[in-house]
Amino acid sequence: KDKNRLIPEDKGRLVTIFLTSYFGKYLEYDFTADLEEQLDDISAGSRPYKEVLARFWRDFSAALAETADLRITEVLEKIDEVLAPHLYPPREDGSDPRTCPTCGKGRLNLKTARSGGAFIGCSNYPECRYTRPLSGDEGDSELSGEGKLLGHDRGDAISLRAGRFGVYVQRGEVTAEQPKPPRASLPKGWAPDAMDLEKAVSLLDLPRFVGPHPEDGAPVEAGIGRFGPYVKHNATYANLPEVDEVFTIGMNRAVEVLAAKLARGPGRGGAAAQPLAVLGEHPSGGPVQVMPGRYGPYVKWDKVNATLPKGMEPGTVTLEQALELIAAKAGAAPKGKKKAAARTADKKTAPKKATTRKKSAPEG
């Protein structure tokens, strides 16, 4: 959606062309209007629903059978033909818009990726590796193939390229020694025409080392991942609101964001909370840890969690104190279970007494 305009996505275009090409009847206005009238009749009780379902399934199953033997290449050729004006707009020089701009010999056509998406590629693959996304235009030709050279860094060529998944930056070239050179996709909101060498290198150098954490000295890093920009310490990941902050965040801000994440606890899909301190080994085995919690810090061993008493600071807890808290917590659970069992036993004896009174009543 762009402001108040709805813009179809590439995947939506493909699905629409597929449906109109092989299931056009079911997209026609007259068909849906007639079916709506039949459904109204069913609601009113004037038409049996089984009759409507049987007629619909008879025709629909026949349409499915007709497409069952279709090969993916046939479907792609059909979609490619219908979308040709959108995928291959006329060129200013009048040349064939489907001629590969890289090798000059291959023909551009629609291809599918292993991930399930689609892209435009050269028919001379793998000799020619020209690709561009479906939404790309002739302006992307410069980015395909060898790409646009932005400059050099540490002896490597840094280039801006367009691939099947969008625009990205690359360090170096594909060689036998380096079949997969370092690459980084452009973050959302970054325009390809605004990319320069400095921005490209900053992307390729991610994750960025912020510094050692003041508490344990472990590295704190900032980067861009599957779920957006983040800051990381050990196994704790905390989201950042803006991509640009990945390149500017300092230690104070990073510690603040990480502490807020730990205070919230492990959220849905989040990383597990890290211990505030590891006090030592429990006599029965396993580490005794001081953990952050939503309702305050607590000591943890195995499956036993014991909240720290009011006034006891996490940084001053000793192993002996933690063992006492854990023992008290673990010892309280069985007592509760025994009381529950006693109450259950009382409830079971009550009906027996009531039954005895009922039997003695007729004899009186």
Indicate whether 56 and 27 sit together in one domain.
Answer: yes
Indicate whether 90 and 173 sit together in one domain.
Answer: yes
pLDDT digits (tens, 9 = 90+) for 285-331: 889 998 887 667 889 998 888 889 888 888 788 899 999 999 998 87
Tokens coding 137:
């235009």
Predicted TM-score of the model (pTM): 0.42
- The answer to whether the peptide bond before residue 207 is cis (omega within 30 degrees of 0) is yes
**C-beta separation of 150 from 196 below 8 A:** yes
Number of C-beta neighbours around residue 168 at 10 A? 20
Indicate whether 318 and 214 sit together in one domain.
Answer: no
Question: Is residue 329 assigned to a domain?
Answer: yes
Calpha distance 149→208 (Å, rounded): 24
Query: Which of 201, 219, 241 finishes a domain?
Result: 201
Number of C-beta neighbours around residue 308 at 10 A? 20
- Pick the closest to residue 199 from 243, 231, 257 (CA basis): 243
Question: Is residue 350 assigned to a domain?
Answer: no
**C-beta separation of 169 from 190 below 8 A:** no
Indicate whether 161 and 128 sit together in one domain.
Answer: yes
pLDDT digits (tens, 9 = 90+) for 261-294: 888 765 544 455 678 888 888 888 889 998 887 6
pLDDT bin (cut points 50, 70, 90) of residue 133 is confident
> What is the domain count for the chain?
4
Question: Is residue 320 assigned to a domain?
Answer: yes
Indicate whether 193 and 89 sit together in one domain.
Answer: yes
Question: Is residue 251 assigned to a domain?
Answer: yes
Tokens coding 275:
């211990």
What residue numbers bound the domain in which 328 lies? 278-340
Indicate whether 238 and 336 sit together in one domain.
Answer: no
Is the pLDDT assigned to residue 142 strictly greater than 60?
no
pLDDT of residue 82: 83
Is the pLDDT assigned to residue 139 strictly greater than 70?
no
Question: Is residue 127 assigned to a domain?
Answer: yes
Question: Is residue 150 assigned to a domain?
Answer: yes
Q: Output the CA–CA distances (angstroms, integers) from residue 240 to 92, 121, 221, 271, in the order listed.
A: 44, 36, 12, 15
Indicate whether 196 and 212 sit together in one domain.
Answer: no
Calpha distance 241→68 (Å, rounded): 47
Number of C-beta neighbours around residue 167 at 10 A? 22
Indicate whether 89 and 189 sit together in one domain.
Answer: yes
Indicate whether 186 and 94 sit together in one domain.
Answer: yes
Indicate whether 114 and 186 sit together in one domain.
Answer: yes
Question: Is residue 326 assigned to a domain?
Answer: yes
**Which residues have a Cβ under 8 Å from the Cβ of 253 and sit 6 or more positions away?**
245
Indicate whether 138 and 217 sit together in one domain.
Answer: no
pLDDT of residue 3: 57
Range of weakest confidence among 2-16, 187-201, 236-250, 325-339: 325-339
Question: Is residue 4 assigned to a domain?
Answer: no
Indicate whether 46 and 115 sit together in one domain.
Answer: no
Is the pLDDT assigned to residue 335 strictly greater than 50?
no
Calpha distance 62→56 (Å, rounded): 10
